[in-house]
Each structure stands twice: as C-alpha cells, then as structure tokens.
C-alpha cells in the first residue's frame, strides 16, 4: 500500500478511487482479514471509495458484503473478498464512466 501526497490527491479530486477489503469505516489500513476474524465479526466485505488525504477515509461509492463462516480463515476470506472485488469494481467503473 502507498499513500499519495496531498498534492496528487487534491489535483485529482474525485477522480481517484480505491478498492479496500473491508466494510469501511471499519478496518482501515492493512491486515483487514486478520483483524475481522480477531474481532469475531459476522460480516466482512469490500468498499470502493474516493481517495482523499485520509487513509481509507474518502466518501464510499459502493460496498458488498459476505457472511463469515465458522470455517473461514485469512486465506478463505481473502479469496471470497477478491471474488466480490472482481464483481463490484467493474460495476462501479461502468457507473462512473456514464456520469
């Protein structure tokens, strides 16, 4: 992960988006799958948001979620979240391109 400079973020205001593997505003930053399991959450998901200077803090464009099962681990969650990302991201891109 790399945080962009304020100059870049401000220059491209509302033009940069990020896909993040959590249901923001929960679990900003790294190790989201591990953190959601450690917290005993029942749901996990993915968020697509506009990039701002705040880490994973920009306005949310879309989210999708899954139920966490008793058999889930970091790797299984990672795979399931990636499947959500692969479905949600193209929909968001298409929607934004039409605006």
Which one from 11, 13, 14, 20 is the annotated catalytic residue? Answer: 20
**20: annotated active-site residue:** yes
**Are 36 and 65 within 8 A, CB to CB?**
no
For residue 5, give Cα distances in angstroms to 8, 15, 87. Answer: 5, 15, 29
- Residues with a catalytic annotation lie at 20
């Amino acid at each position: 992960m790399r945080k962009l400079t304020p100059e870049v973020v401000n220059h491209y205001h509302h033009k940069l988006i990020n896909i993040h593997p959590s249901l923001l505003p929960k679990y900003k930053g790294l190790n989201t799958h591990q953190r959601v399991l450690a917290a005993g959450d029942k749901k996990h998901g993915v968020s697509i948001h506009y990039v701002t200077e705040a880490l994973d803090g920009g306005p949310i464009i879309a989210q999708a979620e899954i139920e966490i099962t008793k058999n889930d681990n970091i790797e299984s969650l990672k795979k399931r979240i990636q499947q959500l990302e692969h479905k949600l991201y193209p929909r968001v891109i298409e929607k934004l391109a039409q605006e």
